[in-house]
A and B are shown apart, each in its own frame.
Chain A
Amino acid sequence: MIELKNIEKYYANKGVKSYILRHVTTSIKQGEFVSIMGPSGAGKSTLLNILGMLEEATYGEYHFMGEDVTAMNERKRIELYRNHIGFVFQAYHLIDEMTVAENIEAPLLYKKIPGAERKSRIADVLDRFNMVAKKDLFPNQLSGGQQQLVGIARALVAQPSIILADEPTGNLQSAQSEQIMDLFRKLNQEENITILQVTHSEKNAQFGNRILTIEDGVIKEDVSVSK
């Protein structure tokens, strides 16, 4: 599903290149649950951003579902956002002016899904996440864990093939963390959704089936998690 070849990312500052990522080569297959780990500043988030096409690599090749991302125009990229990629953020990033239901509806609107189906899908997701009672609340009326659930619900409702999560539990307590991770595992196993998460927590990483460890922009380790 994802092929990275020699990805490099650096900032040129007064002629000196400061590298964020170096020679990153890896591939991720459909249905994998990958955790990216490493110390602060190692380049985890940058790698995730590049994978999510929010940033461009300075050098290297990136194929997403067989297509060359570096040669992709903006319109095509937005199509990918709409149909294949779901984002989950550490700070949830729900739109404050929209209710829970509306937040979840937003990606469906961009996908131009007809109203009736939107309704049923939202109802479905709300039901599954046990949030039907909260659908008309605004994000600031929810707890952090609930907000992140909405965030994941929003990422899922468009039925993406991959979810990119940047420290999804970074702002949550451990009980809530576990709930979210469970959810990810379930999605991965039952619906075969590819999940890529950046995390600091060894424990969270154990929920997946593969761990990439990055240090100073280089992949140090690439191991499968033994169940």
Chain B
Amino acid sequence: MFKLNLKIALRNLFRNKVYAAINIGGLALGLTAFLFILLYINHEESYDKWSTDLKNVYQVRERHSFSTPDNLEHWQESNNSRVANLLKERIPQIEVITKIDKVWSFSDGTAVKIEHADPVMIRDIRDADHHFFHVFPYKFLRGDEQTALEKPNSIVLKEAIALKLFGSLNVLGKQVKTLVWQGDEGNSLIVTGVVAAPSTPETVAFNAITRTGNKDNDPENPGTTNYCQIYAKITDNSDTTKLNKLVQNVYVAFKKKTFAGKDVGFEEYYKDKSKSPGLKLVSLQTVHGNPALTVNWLEKVKPIIAISIFLLLISIINFVNLATAQSVKRAKEVGVKKVLGSYKKQLIIQFLLESALQSVVALFFSVILIEVLLPSFNSYFNVNLSFWHNAQLFVLIIQLIGLFLLVTLLAGFYPAWILSNYNPVSVLKGNYENGLKGIFLRNALVIFQFVISVTFMISIGVMQLQTDYINHKDLGFDKSKVINIKSSYDENFASKIRRIAGVQYVGTTTQVLGNAFNFNAPIDYEGKKIDINSVTVTMEALPALGVKVVKGRIFSPQYKADTLTSAVLNESAAQLLGKDVIGKHFSQNSGKAILQIVGVIKDYHNEGFDKAVLPTMYKITKLGSSSNTNNMLVRFSSENSEQILEKIAREWRLAYPNYPMQYAALNDSFEKILEENKRFINMIVLFSVVSIALSLLGLFALSTFMAKRRTKEIAIRKILGASNLQLMNMLNRSFLLLVLMANFISWPIAFILTRKWLAGFAYRIDMPIWPFLIATVLSVAIAIFTVSLQARKAAVSNSVNSLKYE
């Protein structure tokens, strides 16, 4: 029986190739979108699962005691380094405890210099105490965890980094020098181990672990605190609730002791209970899912998960739609089989089997699609997902089987039910087109699909217009021919660069695209207190940026007062102050500094377009010669940037031989700001293409069904003298209505969604009407085209054939 049913299924698929291809292709598309998300979720879920020992590893978190925007309780990862010793001494369940640096998000990494080679920047080099590898059971390829960090001034490399730096794993005993910033004296470290990369991602990610000795001891002065992350390995089967209670008590007692001899008592100081001292252990394996102080990954990708589930559902709905539309063809088989003595259950199983066959093929295709698309997906979303080389391939396969069963049931059950319900008498008599009761459902599904597609189309249009607007917006400064060297400004170095031919200006400011730090400092102006952003710059910073002067002048060495009492405003600030501000004075720091306004410049963008340019006052930095802005702007006067850069790099090497030069062209910084937005738009484009494709398949199915249902009507009308065109019009009319209705529904939805999206931009276009009109015209046009494919076939077919048999 099974064999025969399988044969029938295969024969049916081959006989209706187009239908089978559409059915399977649609399902494969939906499954692919879903599988990507599944892989991503698996990846995120797999953090810190690379060793069973990690079950006993806990992160120490302290209650965040500063105010937070949402006023909720938060726990932070950085701790007072003294806590490590405290816990180790007082809590017997803790086997080992280790302290490690936190990674700063703005850092470019650490410079690593080997002998006389040029220094290279490497991210995630973290300093720890010597217990690190006792807590985290990394596999040592060279050296071992007992001796690796035994002595200070040692470094353990990850496999990939060892290969990158030395080209070999035999690196024990080699010397490297690490520098955290350009003026750092650095640490000379000896390589004492190489560890293998674990099979799953890690929360405590590192490229190298150093033991410089900084983490070994706590500061002697009780007033000084070192902050670090603390991880503890506890004994097997510890009761964590009890343990956490103990941890909390130990910590409160410790905090109380620090109040001895102070004016304020402990109770009084911590009146606000939500800010009172708190300490707890968090299982390492849950840390990635519940990061401290930031939104977890699930929250971030929730909309995408929703959309991909949505797409899968649409493709399943399509499958159902197509299968029920196709079922008329199978009605006779059902009738005959019932009369021959088949149970309904047997029929349902047969048709479920056919769905299973199709979904297994679809799954197969989507796995191929995943394999093909995964590299671009990875590079695009900056992840490292893999299908076959997956640490949890077994879990993945179980998931795939589950997904297969789910899809088969969802997609196959309704058609199977409909089919097996055919009444043999009416089927065998020939009038089995009792599809009218399902037609409402199918129409509703088509409207639903088109609402989604049209909404997507409109959104793309609006987003495209907004992106165009941003790309062509006047930034208020000239972003070409400027580079920003990541370095504090040093007058000596700056003057050396200035001497290079082709360098026009060298300056520094805290306010530049890619690295802006805005500081609010109120001023007193004509008796009013005005909130204004204050930025200190060097003499050449504004010309280096190429800002546009609106009124007055910008700083110039010709005026002695400029370094002391002159200020330049941007237009937003000038507007706040009122008319004719040039030459007027204002005071800062409650009258301690009096400044005169010498000029007004056009607002220039220094942050993303989601933020408005702040009203800003610019003054020359008092420090003059050096300032720690981490921005050094260099404007070139000629196009010949390669050569000039080479010369600047040469000067850099002379000044800072152990630290590589890091720089970015402002053009690139600008691109980077747009990148996230671009990525989002591309994703929406991708989703909409898939959803539109699926909707068209749905429409195609429904029109096929309709055309078939009305074959006889068409034949009779033809005999009565209807032209092919008239027949096509007739068939198109009902679908046109559906698509127009879908448009009607999606206009307000798209309007609300895109307005919300636009609201995220401080600089945005007015809501345009064109995307709405174009989406409607386009959706109607492609719908007519799709329906006409079927309608034409029905209209042109020979009417005699449809009327011959009853």
Known contacts A54-B425, A93-B428; A98 and B340 CB within 8 A of each other: no
Q: Mark A91-103, 1 if CB is under 8 A from B, else 0.
A: 1011111100010
Query: Could you tell me if B342 and A78 are in contact, using CB atoms closer than 8 angstroms?
Result: yes
Q: Number of A interface residues, CB 8 Å?
A: 29
Interface pick from B330-338, B442-450, B515-523, B783-791: B330-338
- B769 contacts partner chain A, Cβ-Cβ < 8 Å: no
Query: Could you tell me if B339 and A87 are in contact, using CB atoms closer than 8 angstroms?
Result: yes
Query: Could you tell me if B339 and A110 are in contact, using CB atoms closer than 8 angstroms?
Result: no
B residues 1-56 in Cβ contact with A at 8 Å:
1, 4, 7-8, 11-12, 15
- B343 contacts partner chain A, Cβ-Cβ < 8 Å: yes
Query: Could you tell me if A93 and B341 are in contact, using CB atoms closer than 8 angstroms?
Result: no
Query: Could you tell me if B1 and A93 are in contact, using CB atoms closer than 8 angstroms?
Result: no
- A10 contacts partner chain B, Cβ-Cβ < 8 Å: no
Query: Could you tell me if A95 and B341 are in contact, using CB atoms closer than 8 angstroms?
Result: no
Q: Given the complex of chains A and B, what is the CA–CA distance between A154 and B4 in angstroms?
A: 16
Q: Given the complex of chains A and B, what is the CA–CA distance between A195 and B337 in angstroms?
A: 21
Which 8 residue pairs across A and B have the least CB separation, nearest first?
A: A82-B341, A81-B341, A110-B341, A107-B340, A54-B425, A97-B8, A97-B11, A95-B333
Question: Which residues on the A side are within 8 Å of B430 (C-beta)?
Answer: 91
Known: A97-B11, A102-B4. 6 other contacts (CB 8 A): A81-B341, A93-B335, A97-B12, A105-B4, A106-B340, A158-B341
Question: Which residues on the B side are within 8 Å of A106 (C-beta)?
Answer: 4, 336-337, 340
Q: Given the complex of chains A and B, what is the CA–CA distance between A81 and B337 in angstroms?
A: 10
Partner among B12, B342, B425 whose Cβ is within 8 Å of the Cβ of A110? B342
B interface residues (Cβ-Cβ under 8 A, vs A): 1, 4, 7-8, 11-12, 15, 332-333, 335-337, 339-344, 346, 424-425, 428, 430, 805
Q: Given the complex of chains A and B, what is the CA–CA distance between A79 and B428 in angstroms?
A: 20
Question: Which residues on the B side are within 8 Å of A111 (C-beta)?
Answer: 341
Question: Which residues on the A side are within 8 Å of B339 (C-beta)?
Answer: 52, 54, 81, 87
Q: Given the complex of chains A and B, what is the CA–CA distance between A179 and B332 in angstroms?
A: 26
- A209 contacts partner chain B, Cβ-Cβ < 8 Å: no
Q: Given the complex of chains A and B, what is the CA–CA distance between A49 and B335 in angstroms?
A: 13
Ordered by A's residue number, 29 sampled pairs between the chains whose C-beta atoms are within 8 Å are A49-B425, A54-B424, A54-B428, A55-B425, A74-B344, A78-B341, A78-B343, A81-B340, A81-B341, A89-B428, A91-B428, A91-B430, A93-B332, A93-B428, A94-B336, A95-B333, A96-B332, A97-B8, A102-B4, A106-B4, A106-B336, A106-B340, A107-B341, A109-B1, A110-B341, A110-B346, A154-B340, A158-B340, A158-B341
B274 nearest CB across to chain A (Å): 67
B332 (CB) vs chain A CBs: closest residue: A93
Most A CB atoms within 10 A — which of B11, B337, B339, B346? B339
Question: Which residues on the A side are within 8 Å of B7 (C-beta)?
Answer: 98, 102
Known contacts A106-B337, A110-B341, A111-B341; A97 and B15 CB within 8 A of each other: yes
Q: Given the complex of chains A and B, what is the CA–CA distance between A213 and B419 in angstroms?
A: 37
A93 (CB) vs chain B CBs: closest residue: B336
Question: Which residues on the A side are within 8 Å of B15 (C-beta)?
Answer: 97
Partner among B1, B332, B343, B425 whose Cβ is within 8 Å of the Cβ of A95? B332
B5 (CB) vs chain A CBs: closest residue: A109
A interface residues (Cβ-Cβ under 8 A, vs B): 49, 52, 54-55, 74-75, 78-79, 81-83, 87, 89, 91, 93-98, 102, 105-107, 109-111, 154, 158
Query: Could you tell me if B425 and A98 are in contact, using CB atoms closer than 8 angstroms?
Result: no
A110 (CB) vs chain B CBs: closest residue: B341
Question: Which residues on the B side are within 8 Å of A52 (C-beta)?
Answer: 339
Question: Which residues on the B side are within 8 Å of A89 (C-beta)?
Answer: 428
Q: Given the complex of chains A and B, what is the CA–CA distance between A134 and B430 in angstroms?
A: 27
Question: Which residues on the B side are within 8 Å of A97 (C-beta)?
Answer: 8, 11-12, 15, 333
A54 (CB) vs chain B CBs: closest residue: B425
Q: Given the complex of chains A and B, what is the CA–CA distance between A106 and B346 in angstroms?
A: 13
Question: Which residues on the B side are within 8 Å of A158 (C-beta)?
Answer: 340-341
B339 (CB) vs chain A CBs: closest residue: A87
B343 (CB) vs chain A CBs: closest residue: A78
A182 nearest CB across to chain B (Å): 25
Q: Given the complex of chains A and B, what is the CA–CA distance between A37 and B380 in angstroms?
A: 77
Q: Given the complex of chains A and B, what is the CA–CA distance between A49 and B339 in angstroms?
A: 11
A93 nearest CB across to chain B (Å): 5
A116 nearest CB across to chain B (Å): 15
Question: Which residues on the B side are within 8 Å of A78 (C-beta)?
Answer: 341-343
Question: Which residues on the A side are within 8 Å of B425 (C-beta)?
Answer: 49, 54-55
Question: Which residues on the A side are within 8 Å of B8 (C-beta)?
Answer: 95, 97-98
B330 (CB) vs chain A CBs: closest residue: A97
Question: Which residues on the A side are within 8 Å of B344 (C-beta)?
Answer: 74
Question: Which residues on the B side are within 8 Å of A95 (C-beta)?
Answer: 8, 332-333, 336-337
Question: Which residues on the B side are within 8 Å of A96 (C-beta)?
Answer: 332-333
Question: Which residues on the A side are within 8 Å of B336 (C-beta)?
Answer: 93-95, 106
B336 (CB) vs chain A CBs: closest residue: A93
Question: Which residues on the B side are within 8 Å of A87 (C-beta)?
Answer: 339-340
Question: Which residues on the A side are within 8 Å of B341 (C-beta)?
Answer: 78-79, 81-83, 107, 110-111, 158
Q: Given the complex of chains A and B, what is the CA–CA distance between A52 and B339 in angstroms?
A: 9
A95 (CB) vs chain B CBs: closest residue: B333
B409 nearest CB across to chain A (Å): 24
Partner among B1, B4, B805 whose Cβ is within 8 Å of the Cβ of A98? B4
Q: Given the complex of chains A and B, what is the CA–CA distance between A74 and B344 in angstroms?
A: 10
Q: Given the complex of chains A and B, what is the CA–CA distance between A96 and B346 in angstroms?
A: 19
Q: Given the complex of chains A and B, what is the CA–CA distance between A49 and B423 in angstroms?
A: 12
Q: Given the complex of chains A and B, what is the CA–CA distance between A91 and B336 in angstroms?
A: 11
Question: Which residues on the B side are within 8 Å of A82 (C-beta)?
Answer: 340-341
B321 nearest CB across to chain A (Å): 22
Question: Which residues on the B side are within 8 Å of A81 (C-beta)?
Answer: 339-341
Question: Which residues on the B side are within 8 Å of A107 (C-beta)?
Answer: 340-341
Q: Given the complex of chains A and B, what is the CA–CA distance between A203 and B7 in angstroms?
A: 42
B143 nearest CB across to chain A (Å): 67
Query: Could you tell me if B340 and A110 are in contact, using CB atoms closer than 8 angstroms?
Result: yes
A105 (CB) vs chain B CBs: closest residue: B4
Question: Which residues on the A side are within 8 Å of B332 (C-beta)?
Answer: 93, 95-96
Q: Given the complex of chains A and B, what is the CA–CA distance between A81 and B336 in angstroms?
A: 11
Partner among B4, B11, B333 whose Cβ is within 8 Å of the Cβ of A109? B4
A224 nearest CB across to chain B (Å): 30
Question: Which residues on the A side are within 8 Å of B333 (C-beta)?
Answer: 95-97
